[in-house]
Chain A
Amino acid sequence: MTRHVVASVADIPPGGRKIVTVKGREIGIFRIGDDFHGLINRCPHQGAPLCLGEIVSRLVAPSPGDYRLTRPGEMIRCPWHCWEFDIRTGQSLCDPHSVQARAFDVAVEDGKTLVEGPFVAESVQVTVEEAYVVVTL
């Protein structure tokens, strides 16, 4: 397992995302508030670039016609078949236990700590002043 520095925190504003490549895998890094989450950029259904989809809310209705918008910005919708996935867990809405997009451990670490190593940062310049998004893989 290696720590990969994939972005500085400032690179990804709240509600934003960045597609990065780690060990040949395309991973979408999403920021919800101050939390960062990583999902494989591949829909488990038919292989679409999942992380390029729209970031949406969880639409619910306790009964028909009683429309409610919940968890704004916490779902990703596949750009092909519109399947929705929970950005935090990778679980699909249609079949949360069997259909999941692979989720990766993403953490925020201070440059100060990081420079002590070891880490891999292929395209990010790490300085002690900033905080970074780190994928462990």
Chain B
Amino acid sequence: MNVTVLDRSPDRSAQSHMGFIDCDVHPYVKGPNDFDPFLSKRWLEHKQTIGGRGRQGLAKTSMYPRMSPGNGMRMDAWTDTGGHPGSDLPKMREQLLDLFDVAYGLLAPLVGGGPGERNVEFGSAMATAVNEWQLAHWCDPDPRLLGAIQINIEHTEAAIAEIEKRAGDRRFAQVNIPPRGLEPLGRRRYWPILQACAANGFPVSLHLGGTSGHASTGGGWPSFYHEEHPSYVQTMQTLVTSLVCEGVFEQIPNLKVVLVEGGFAWLPSLCWRLDKHWKRLKAEVPHLKRSPSEYVHEHIWVTTQPIEEPERPQDMLSTLEWIGPDKVMFSTDYPHWDQDDPRYAFKIPLPDDWKRKIYRDNAKALYNL
């Protein structure tokens, strides 16, 4: 590995990150009751008695405990009074928004448990509560922060209603769907929801996290977070494969999909693989009118974090070139342990026009900012 030891002098060429658009910022709750004001009496009672129920063995903690407290937080992001990283807007401003003069931060709230809730009515109620909470605690106090609409995709009517309710509200940038669902996202049963996203001008962001209840690999449950963390990449590959092969992009030609927190260096080889085997197995998927890689290039965006650090730094350039610098958007993942610093994430200088696109212009265009 070849990592340059940083010197302390200000790096002029790195200044292009200033004013960037951060495509993955995580707001947290200050306490367990933050959502209560946004729940009806019915669901508040449910929350206080039964509570959230996901598809895994532990009720409140990840099955793959992270390596730092708070389920994997950047350790200097706790507040002086012990507040959870991401729960305090002034701290977020100090460490991210003001520090880099962030133009926009796209929120990815992994809180509330709504999207993965087994009781889909409760899940939908929690999703709605989280949406209201984003507005009240984040987007309204700091208009740089843009919300992601939470839904529970196993409750089609409620999900569509929520999307339609938020349509036209510029405080929301996109609809967030967990990438590990009961069924692959391209399956027909999810088309009405994807259709609603596209029809209302929302890109769909697929942010890693949560569990579907299916083993995280086709060969069963890994033992370690050391395996789970890379398995997120495999989940992203499956998603792309599903969306393309099911013909979603033929069906919903204006659908835009953003893959968040899956890295990106795996995408070119997946495209080659899809194209190769599609040629042989075309007869099975006659609904595909073009090669899989064409759908990917047209409909899918990737965010950078956790950025790959190739053994040879120059391989980052070829990777970006093969994906297309128009489809890559910078993200920090603040305040998670594996977040990236916009100054130092790329271990090799990028051409100026790529920097502009990746740090700002691609997101600006995609989200109409």
Contacts and interface: CB of A to CB of B under 8 A. Distances in A.
A15 interface: no
A113 interface: no
B8 A46 contact: no
Interface string B149-169: 000000000000000000000
Contacts of A48: 74, 76, 341
A42 B8 contact: yes
B189 interface: no
Interface string A49-63: 100111000000000
A49 B67 contact: no
Contacts of B76: 48-49, 52, 79-80
A64 to B, nearest CB: 10
Secondary structure call for the A interface: loop
Find the residue from A47, A54, A82 having the highest chain B CB count within 10 A: A82
A47 B6 contact: yes
B278 interface: no
A82 B68 contact: yes
Given A45-B3, A99-B3, A80 B74 contact: yes
A94 B345 CA distance: 18
Contact of A46 (B2, B75, B340): B340
Interface in B179-224: none
Nearest to B66: A82
Contacts of B6: 42, 44, 47
Given A46-B345, A80-B74, A25 B8 contact: yes
Nearest to B77: A79
Contacts of B281: none
Interface residues of B, number: 20
A42 B345 CA distance: 15
B118 to A, nearest CB: 33
Given A46-B345, A53-B75, A98 B337 contact: no
Contact of A80 (B1, B5, B339, B343): B339
A35 to B, nearest CB: 24
Find the residue from B2, B5, B8, B74 having the highest chain A CB count within 10 A: B5
A81 B338 contact: yes
A34 interface: no
A100 interface: yes
Interface in A68-125: 79-82, 94-95, 98-100, 102
Contact of B344 (A46, A49, A82, A100): A46
A82 B5 CA distance: 17
Contacts of A99: 1, 3, 5
Given A79-B75, A98-B2, A102-B5, A46 B67 contact: no
15 contacts: A25-B8, A46-B341, A46-B345, A47-B343, A49-B76, A53-B75, A54-B75, A79-B74, A80-B76, A80-B339, A81-B337, A95-B1, A98-B1, A98-B2, A99-B5
Q: Which 8 A-B pairs have the closest CB atoms?
A: A79-B75, A46-B344, A46-B341, A44-B5, A79-B76, A95-B1, A99-B3, A47-B344
Interface of B: 1-6, 8, 67-68, 74-76, 337-341, 343-345
Interface of A: 24-25, 42, 44-49, 52-54, 79-82, 94-95, 98-100, 102
Given A80-B76, A80-B341, 13 more contacts: A42-B8, A44-B3, A46-B340, A47-B6, A48-B76, A52-B76, A79-B76, A80-B337, A81-B337, A82-B337, A95-B3, A98-B2, A99-B3
